[in-house]
Amino acid sequence: MEVQGKIIMKLPLQQGTSRNGNNWMKQEYVLETNEAYPKKVHFDFFGERANQYNFEVGDVILLSFDIESREYNGRWYTDIRGWKAEKVDPNAAGASVAGTPVTAIASAAAPAPAPAVAASMAPIPAATDVLGGGDGDEDLPF
């Protein structure tokens, strides 16, 4: 998936050593989308990508990412892990890149109503429409 926006926060680099003795690092950022109602997106680069991409506050980027969730002690945590990013001209923010439209996270978060829901929102017919006019001339069998 992809999202385009401006870096509004760069968090401190995190480093450590795993239980197996492997060194790791993670660089986190917060991006704000360029939409009518901007959304803030917290994401990170893990491992060697933490050094590969060095963005600063104010940079406009196109981020390619994966979403991953995991369970820990009965609670679920979701990460947005960047795997590719490129700086974009700030004047072209919100435009498509190389003819490919930018997919926003908001589209997944707020899906359009299902057709069954939309049909249930149709106006309710008046009682006279259901009973056949309501002028009293009907011959009802009951």
Question: What per-residue confidence (pLDDT) applies to 101?
Answer: 42
Q: What is the DSSP code (8-state) at residue 113? A: P
Q: Which residue ranges form the domains of the chain, and what is each CATH number?
A: 2-122 (2.40.50.140)
Q: For every one of its 142 residues, what pLDDT tens digit does the chain have, with 9 covering 90 and above?
A: 999 999 999 999 999 999 999 999 999 999 999 999 999 999 999 999 999 999 999 999 999 999 999 999 999 999 999 999 999 987 754 444 443 344 444 444 444 445 444 445 555 555 555 555 555 566 667 6
**Could you tell me which of 52, 42, 40, 47 has the C-alpha nearest to residue 14?**
47
Question: What per-residue confidence (pLDDT) applies to 72?
Answer: 95
- In Å, how far are 24, 31, 113 from 104, measured between CA atoms? 29, 12, 18
Burial class of 121 by CB neighbour count within 10 A (0 to 12, 13 to 18, 19+):
exposed
Helix (H, G, I), strand (E, B) or coil at 18: coil
